[in-house]
Structure 1
Amino acid sequence: MVTIILSAGKFPPDNTEGRKPGAKYPEIKSLMGPDPQLKWVVTGMVLTQLLACYLVQDVSWKWVVIWAYTFGGCINHSLTLAIHDISHNVAFGNKQARWNRWFAMFANLPIGLPYSASFKKYHIDHHRYLGGDGLDVDVPTDLEGWFFCTPFRKLIWLFLQPFFYALRPLVVNPKPVSSLEVLNAAVQLVADVCIFYLWGLKPIVYLISGSILCMGLHPISGHFIAEHYMFLKGHETYSYYGPLNLITFNVGYHMEHHDFPSIPGSRLPLVKKMAAEYYDSLPQHTSWVRVLWDFVFDDSIGPYARIKREYKLVKQE
């Protein structure tokens, strides 16, 4: 990993230092604010998964797993990206922060495991201390980079990616459990118990296995690698403008998102359109499947291919 030392308070430099698309195009700020359609799209996805739970109760176990990987897991992965959007308060706006947190828990229900409250807690650090050693838990540990260094091991790392994302914060940057996390877990447990009571074990396996499989070795999961792994020296954040953005809340517009995290995913294509000269010339990915292929078989890329920063944090008296 490349290590950069920064003082606290300075936002980490990205692909091109000094880029200020918002200064040249102040109209971009008009795109900030809540997305009124987001809550209806998410509600439709949650209801679709509840209907799927009813439908899979009588299918064979083989088809439970197949449908989980090809259908349910795709919806659940998309819901994790909706939760990502909601963590920036774009469902109800900054003045309704609690409504955003509660709605994220609702979006969490089909995922099967409590996720939304913990994600919000750590995602703030990802934006504030991008690549921060011991702060940004999105960065793999040195042990991961050292061990998962061959094509076969990197393939295993991709498959186990959801487990690393869940456990890495407990090792890298453990934080006290918040009341929101307790509420998130309680709400999720009640929902899982109700589904089990109504339709049995198969819907629970359908939901949880889909979440795990589609956050691991799956085409949509290419965005985990595409976003901040240094495929080209000196470039750590990349966008992807392909069709999978249609089912991932435009998470592929990642340079745009880090420039303007308060803009909902649905409006990020407008950011690129308004300030095209700031984004069109930057390195970008054209395929998340190709990203996964290159990650596995290119010896120069692996879990270690990240920029790591050491922040000199100043304690508040």
Structure 2
Amino acid sequence: MSDTDTATSAPIHIPVLLAEVLDALAVRAGGVYVDGTFGAGGYSRAILEAADCQVVGIDRDPAAIQRAAPLLARFPGRLRIIEGRFGDMAELLAANGIGPVDGVALDIGVSSPQIDDPSRGFSFRFDGPLDMRMSLSGPTAADVVNEYAEADIATILWRLGEERMSRRVARAIVAARATARIETTAQLADIIRSVVPRSKKDGIDPATRSFQGLRLHVNDELGELDRGLAGAERVLAPGGRLAVVSFHSLEDRRVKDFLRQRSGSEGAPSRHMPAAHAGPAPSLRLLGRGGVTPGEPELRHNPRARSARLRAAERTTAPAWPIGEAA
């Protein structure tokens, strides 16, 4: 199979767990599907090719919106692109007269085009400005490391990056910025590597966890995920499908907990809950348990997929839970 779109001569991005996502969505002719994290358009393209349906792509990254031009030309009248956050999908769809929909796909985290563009500052593999903003607006990662208090930096790296040496890293950052402002990914990565030894167990770069923590903070990615899951629950028609691909434990735990709550699959009620309170009726039905991970053939072609996990559910006829409601 060619990796090039013959109509545009542009490389085709093949997203993680593509076949499994399409299977979970049960794409059908006449359906309306939301690709809440449009990115390079991989899921949107595959959904549009799978059936004579319509897709609404949402992305907060202006560069992703620009990349949609070839797909818009290829699927006239079937693809619609909205610039915005997928956490706001219910409001975005309502404002555009769309809904309810038959499926929502979410690919959580940073996209390949974002990682591979040095000017975006997401990766320490290239030297570039310390930016990390998906929407190109708001405070940058450089603003965080140069202006936040040492204790606040340490908290971000610990909670969002799961960096065990977060206090040591934060101390090194504050010491370095006293001499000169930290402006590039290479500067920050070198500071982190100077105080965090390379792990002999997993071999990952010492800067990996700290960069993850900063990126999640700059883009409020976990808050966005929470809002996006609740938004998907609101926009899905009965029988509609939700498919979520996540790449690390912080994201996957949130997805798993949300789906278990909304499906009534959490087991025995909490001992702190009054016995008479049954809670809202399940708004989702789990499609499988434990999540789906990539097989060896996919991992051979795409090592980035190694940590990916897909979880899926089907919308029931029960009303969406009130915002903030927990099981």
User: Is the shorter-chain TM-score for this pair beyond 0.5, marking a shared fold?
Assistant: no
Provide the TM-score with structure 2 as the length reference: 0.24
Question: TM-score, with normalisation over the residues of structure 1?
Answer: 0.25
Would you tell me which structure has more strand in proportion to its own residues? 2
User: Which structure carries more helix by proportion?
Assistant: 1
- Select the structure of larger CA radius of gyration: 2
